[in-house]
Amino acid sequence: MTATMFARTDGCHRLVASYLSRLGRTALDLLAMLVDERCGRFAPQAPYRAAARSPG
């Protein structure tokens, strides 16, 4: 067996779809961060850290 069909009304279907969607978005975010880092555009500082270090 290589695939199992889930009914759209099944609660498990929504749970798995939500998990896989988040997993895909996270993977794409990590890939984008890798590309930015390799191209020299990566800014590792979070905005709150930059604000904490600025005089004011």
Query: Do 6 and 13 meet the contact criterion of CB atoms below 8 Å apart?
Result: yes
- Calpha distance 45→34 (Å, rounded): 15
More confident residue, 55 or 2: 2
Structure-block tokens of residue 34: 């890798």
pLDDT tens-digit series, residues 19-55? 999 999 999 999 998 898 888 887 666 666 555 555 5
What pLDDT, on the 0 to 100 scale, is given for residue 23? 95
What pLDDT, on the 0 to 100 scale, is given for residue 22? 92
DSSP string spanning 12-40?
HHHHHHHHHHHHHHHHHHHHHHHHHHHTT
